[in-house]
Amino acid sequence: MRKLSILEIALCVIVAGILLLWYVWAACGVTIADWFLNRANPAASSAWGDSFGAFNALVSALGFGGILLTLVMQGRALRDQQSDAIAQRLDQHRQNFDKSFFDLLGLMRDVRSEIVFKYSDSYIAAVGSSNVGTANGAEALARAAREATYWIRLRIKDGPMTKKDLARLYRVRVHTRFEARLGAYYRVIYTILRRVSEDSVLSDSDKRGYGNLLRSQLQSQEVLLLALNGLTGMSNNFSDYLIEFRIMKYLPSITMRRILLAGYPKEAFEARD
């Protein structure tokens, strides 16, 4: 059962007070009127009649106060209704966003399972790998990251690498060889991060939560590939979202972190939450 608010109680008190005053005044008025009309002189009777003016003024003031309280209560009720409507819309938006987000996560996993990658002949010759066949899914990403890391470490021996150097090496040695599958995979992740970032209803805390959920689905090899892809011109502003959601936070290789600082600020590898 809903409890009465202070304003509602005050309004009830005012109304009850008006009725009580009216009853008392009327009850006393019979006796007083009888006394004035039968025993008092005309001047006293006139004075008693004039006293009703003060009572009417009191009743009018109390009535006006009751109207003001009613308006205030109606305004509060309207604000409560608006707040409830806004809360319902926010809740519905979060539910819809949840469904869309997890649908995209499912799509990401599906696209990831279709990725294929095969070591290049030059890499096999350089390291003597026996894994010469084509790998799929997570293993394909692991091999792509492994080959990219090899060529980066080899190149860094000749001196520091710039953002442009890293982007070109990744594009030539890894991406262009299996662009169709890798590109689709990156676009799904880009779409997820962009939708979370640009949503005008979600709070910063909600956005961090969604970003952390996505990050929890990524292996370290995937994170490295995302970081390298974000440095290329073909990735649009992918790097901005990788930085915003600290996707590289759990990149395990300290060496690769230092190398990637050529294209990313230090905070890209730090915690956001």
How do residues 110-130 score in pLDDT, each as one tens digit?
A: 999 999 999 999 999 999 877
- Of the candidates 103, 81, 104, 101, the one whose C-alpha atom is nearest the C-alpha of residue 93 is 101
How do residues 217-260 score in pLDDT, each as one tens digit?
A: 999 999 999 999 999 999 989 999 999 999 999 888 889 999 99
Average pLDDT, the chain: 83
Mean pLDDT of 257-273: 89
Percentage of residues of the chain with pLDDT beyond 90: 58
- pLDDT tops 70 at residue 22: no
pLDDT at residue 256, rounded to an integer = 92
**232, 175 contact by CB (below 8 A):** yes
Q: Looking at this protein, which amino acid is placed at residue 208?
A: R
- pLDDT tops 90 at residue 37: no
DSSP at 122: H
How do residues 59-105 score in pLDDT, each as one tens digit?
A: 666 666 667 767 777 777 777 777 777 778 888 998 999 999 999 99
Domain assignments of the chain as residue spans, ordered by start:
6-90, 114-269
Mean pLDDT of 10-34: 58
Report d(CA 216, CA 122) in Å as an integer: 33
How do residues 157-175 score in pLDDT, each as one tens digit?
A: 999 999 999 999 999 999 9
Report d(CA 162, CA 100) in Å as an integer: 38
pLDDT at residue 153, rounded to an integer = 94
This model's pTM is above 0.75: no
pLDDT at residue 168, rounded to an integer = 96
How many CB atoms sit inside 10 A of residue 13's CB?
11
Q: Is 176 helix (H, G, I), strand (E, B) or coil?
A: helix
Provide CB contacts within 8 A for 4, sequence distance 6+: 12
CA distances from 207 to 72, 93, 201 (A): 38, 13, 10
Residue keyed to tokens 């799904």: 188
